[in-house]
Amino acid sequence: MKRPLVHPKSDQNDKDLNDMVLFYNETLGFCPNSIKTMHHRPRIAYAFIEMNKAVMENQGRVTSGLKRLIGYISSHAAGCRYCQAHTIRAAERYEADRAQIENIWSYRTHDAFSEAERAALDFSLAASQIPNGVDDAIAERMREHWNEGEIVEILGVVALFGYLNRWNDSMGTQLEGPAVESGEQLLTSDGWTVGKHKY
């Protein structure tokens, strides 16, 4: 794309937009351009932030780090390089195990991952594919390792990133400098590039 479909809002005098910037400065170290783009219709941005908070809230054994790795697997399956960079950066910021970040695509065999985490990541990959790949065997493994509330949390992450993957790839959202750095440091060995998200 020659430019993003819609440019992010940048009104420095918009208090609500600045409040969102402060929230994301805490979580990612910067406010994503995707949120600033959603803010052309503020209710969409606010609804997304509330959904994001609800999905990323930890109420069981699904850790913040695992949720970000689930988001990465889901975004990789969808092909969204923007979200891949964001999720791997967030995994690092939310203290996912370094060995897990560095060996994410060896999760089925690497000893940094538990059987429960393997089940969650297999589920995330299958749930993010089109057509959907979740079958009885994957569902049974999930029930074996996670309770119903935790399964809802895990699928919530996949669904949240399904929205973001569609948003950012269709919008051609420009990838922010810190996210580019994270992608280049942590994902280039897997063939990651900025792709359409650089102008």
Nearest to 80, CA basis, from 16, 161, 177, 178: 161
> Three-state DSSP class for 4?
coil
| Structure tokens belonging to residue 173 | 């959202």
Residue 16, pLDDT > 80, answer no
* pLDDT single digits (tens) 182-199: 999 999 988 999 999 999
The answer to whether the CB of 174 falls within 8 A of the CB of 33 is yes
Domain residue spans of the chain: 15-193
Cis peptide, bond prior to residue 4, ω within 30 of zero: no
Nearest to 75, CA basis, from 26, 145, 129: 129
Class of CATH domain 15-193: mainly alpha
Rounded mean pLDDT of the chain? 94
